[in-house]
Copies of this chain bind each other. A is one copy, B any other.
Amino acid sequence: MARTASRNIGQSIPRLEAREKVTGRAEYVHHLRLPGMLYGKIFRSTVPHARIKSVDVSAAQALEGVYRVVTIDDIREAIPHPYYGPAFHDQPILADGKVRFAGEPVAVVLAADPHIAQEAVGLISAEYEELPAVFDEVEAMSSDVLVHDVLKPAATFPDLKHLAGRTGTNVALDYHLLRGDPEAGFAAADHVFEHTYRSQQVMHIPMEPFVSVADAADGRLTLHTASQSPSFVRIEIARLLGWPENRVRVKVPYLGGGFGGKLYIKLEALVTALSLVARRPVKVALTMEEQFFMVTRHPCTFTIKSGVNKDGTIVARTCKVVWNGGAYADIGPRVTQKAGFTSAGPYDIENVEIHSYAVYTNRPPCGALRGFGAPQTAWAYECHMDEIAEALGMDKVAFRRKNLLQNGRPQATGTIVQDAALEQALDQVADRLNWNEPLDRGDGRIRRGRGIAVGFKGITAPTTSVAIVNLYADGSCGLYISTVEMGQGSDTVMAQIAAEVLDMDAAAIKVVHPDTDVTPYDMGTLGSRSTFHMGTAVRLAAEDARKKIAELARELGLPEGSNLPLPELFRRKYGMQAGNIIGTASFIPKYEKPDAETGHSRNATPFWGVGASGAEVEVDTETGHYRITKLVNVADVGTALNPKLVQVQLSGAGIMQLGFTTTEEMVYRDGQLTNGSLADYKIPTLLDIPPEFINEHVDSEQKDGPFGGKGAGESTTIALSPAIGNALFDAVGVRLTDLPLTPEKIFRALCEANGTPLAGE
């Protein structure tokens, strides 16, 4: 290919920020101290659902060194309607008369010394009138216990208007898709299978806990915040305050991981309110433990039913996906829609019906988490695929391959699939697992098995990205983008794209980090969109700069193609080292809103994220303990713009999903989180990484992506859990339907399968 000659594209250029990070000089919000800054510490609800009778802050207020204790009544003086959220304006900045989950912020102590603030939090007490609570998403669908009295969708959120004012329900959003005639399909099918699978509640655990600093004064506000979506924060805070956007400045330095947790609006509403009330800069920095109360991943109950012919053709499928959104909607309704429309899996099925529900419960709120619901749906549809293949006696790879969506065929929405290397990814995993060779399955106590899975996801749409490329007089370059560098390497990839157009080295480009006063709009660093969306905006902005260079050369009377170095062009124009050439561009991909009734759309997603996984496991049948001896993830990332960065993205996402598959789970008793700390909630460590851990991309191209590229951050989260679940079944013949896949569950299932009573039962 021509592009192999490029000095930027396809090159594993080291991260531009590597040195800064390794030397400890990279800037994070946690470092920031402003003159006169106060620290806010949060007093949280101890009950999951209650009316607040009273909050006694007098002892806290009396503690020496306490500046002020703030409740919702104080906040209302600064912000008359203190409710926020990306999809619904349902979340009060502090609890407002009611609490809806255990851990909800009720009051904040402000002090110059954070230790004093924390001490004062211990002096606050609240009296509650407890209310019945609901925690399970399926129960909540029909429960009399109502988490919210009335639905309050954001006016700015497209297509939720019809929900405004809806009462008497915990269902925040119901999404539906109908293709063909599933009932007729089931009736005509040789076999019908139905299963239900559950995903648990887990947390993002960014290594940098949530932190925001607000500095509000004189009708202006500056927010320094660990956010993935500075542009959104600006717009939502401006709405809360009734201010124009340009009086709200949102700055994001480096981010220590986000994974979807730091999207939309989190601590920003609270610190803004506190700064307005206190008339001082205010910082709120959560502890690792408090993060569990900020935002989590949706638990999900997914009932999937398929009609299948003898030859293995799937002819009909219905999906009922119920998403446990917790107490506040956050971006749950979007997850419901976006993961909803792909919940029948990457298969070519004539008759499909999907119902996907966002449901309120009395748990901590749930939002976006690496994959935006796709891992939960794939957990269901890919276990289901294996169960069907098993029942039909078909090879699991062959069964999938038979039904896989091919490029050029319509997905359930009607959108024609393009540039989705599903079969290639599946085949590559099978190859790395030596699928066609027999496996040593062991005998006696230790049994071995292998599993495979494939999945896909749509990308959030419509969204916009804007970029500015600024060429300085010595020919060096600044790139102004609101994409957040959160460890994924976006600075480097964006610089590579700009450098490729401008014919310079990526390392010579300075990426200016998000500052909404200066870097232009970007919808957010989320959902694998940056490389494709911002990457395209950067490419176009750099092309605009090139065009202006050519215009300048013409203006100076130079012959076409004279290729005078840029510094010399500037010197001729301005008589000295001076001036700029500024290229700008915005990008919004083609998109058609799905029909509200049928879910049909000819353009439901800008591109497809594709991942396939395979696992080999070794199970101790006496204890249920197991080892993953080999784990293979293969993703379609289009052209790998930076192969090394792609590799790190794929393995990082794989390790994260490994935790969600094997150990991680937020465990509750009566609505109280019992393991909300890293001592009890177990994330993977280096020792948990399988001895053979292969992460690869297929050789493909996203034709409308920048230099053929597309996102890589989520692909290997999609199919990993079912690959392991399927491998466990392959090893010991028991099917676990609920994540995580713990030794205890295997042990219990083995006992049940063997008819062995459990000790003590």
What residues of chain A have their CB less than 8 Å away from a CB belonging to chain B?
Answer: 19-20, 23, 25, 31, 35, 156, 158, 217-220, 231, 235, 238, 244-247, 462-464, 466, 468, 470, 472-478, 480, 508-510, 512, 515, 517-521, 523, 573-580, 582, 584, 586, 588, 591
B470, A245: Cβ atoms under 8 Å? Answer: no
Chain B residues lying within 8 Å of A462, measured Cβ to Cβ, are 574-576
5 closest residue pairs by CB, A with B: A244-B476, A246-B476, A246-B510, A518-B518, A464-B578
User: Known interface pairs A23-B218, A244-B508, A510-B247. Does A520 touch B580 (Cβ–Cβ under 8 Å)?
Assistant: yes
Chain B residues lying within 8 Å of A584, measured Cβ to Cβ, are 580, 582, 584
Number of copies: 2
A578, B231: Cβ atoms under 8 Å? Answer: yes
B476, A218: Cβ atoms under 8 Å? Answer: no
Chain B residues lying within 8 Å of A512, measured Cβ to Cβ, are 517-518
A466, B582: Cβ atoms under 8 Å? Answer: yes
Across the two chains, which residue of chain B brings its CB closest to A249?
A: B510
Chain B residues lying within 8 Å of A470, measured Cβ to Cβ, are 518, 520
A25 touches which of B218, B247, B464 (Cβ 8 Å): B218
Bound-state CA distance A582–B519 (Å) is 11
Across the two chains, which residue of chain B brings its CB closest to A508?
A: B244
Across the two chains, which residue of chain B brings its CB closest to A574?
A: B464
User: Known interface pairs A23-B218, A518-B478, A520-B582. Does A158 touch B576 (Cβ–Cβ under 8 Å)?
Assistant: yes
Chain B residues lying within 8 Å of A156, measured Cβ to Cβ, are 576-577
Shortest beta-carbon distance, A536 to chain B, in Å? 14
Bound-state CA distance A527–B237 (Å) is 41
Across the two chains, which residue of chain B brings its CB closest to A519?
A: B518
Chain B residues lying within 8 Å of A575, measured Cβ to Cβ, are 158, 462, 588, 591
Chain B residues lying within 8 Å of A574, measured Cβ to Cβ, are 462, 464, 588
Chain B residues lying within 8 Å of A238, measured Cβ to Cβ, are 474
Bound-state CA distance A578–B588 (Å) is 10
23 residue pairs from A and B, CB less than 8 Å apart: A20-B218, A156-B576, A158-B575, A235-B473, A235-B474, A244-B475, A246-B510, A462-B574, A464-B574, A470-B520, A478-B517, A478-B518, A510-B517, A512-B517, A515-B518, A518-B518, A520-B580, A521-B578, A521-B580, A523-B578, A575-B588, A579-B586, A582-B582
Bound-state CA distance A416–B244 (Å) is 47
B464, A579: Cβ atoms under 8 Å? Answer: yes
Chain B residues lying within 8 Å of A515, measured Cβ to Cβ, are 518
Bound-state CA distance A325–B140 (Å) is 83
Bound-state CA distance A43–B607 (Å) is 64
A473, B580: Cβ atoms under 8 Å? Answer: no
Bound-state CA distance A246–B464 (Å) is 27
- 12 A-B pairs besides A20-B218, A245-B474, A512-B517 with CB distance below 8 A are A20-B220, A25-B217, A158-B576, A238-B474, A245-B476, A246-B508, A464-B579, A478-B517, A510-B517, A515-B518, A523-B578, A574-B588
Chain B residues lying within 8 Å of A245, measured Cβ to Cβ, are 472-474, 476
Bound-state CA distance A62–B521 (Å) is 53
B218, A478: Cβ atoms under 8 Å? Answer: no
B474, A244: Cβ atoms under 8 Å? Answer: yes
Shortest beta-carbon distance, A472 to chain B, in Å? 4
A573 touches which of B25, B231, B480, B588 (Cβ 8 Å): B588
Chain B residues lying within 8 Å of A517, measured Cβ to Cβ, are 478, 510, 512
Across the two chains, which residue of chain B brings its CB closest to A31?
A: B35
Chain B residues lying within 8 Å of A25, measured Cβ to Cβ, are 217-218
Bound-state CA distance A578–B460 (Å) is 15
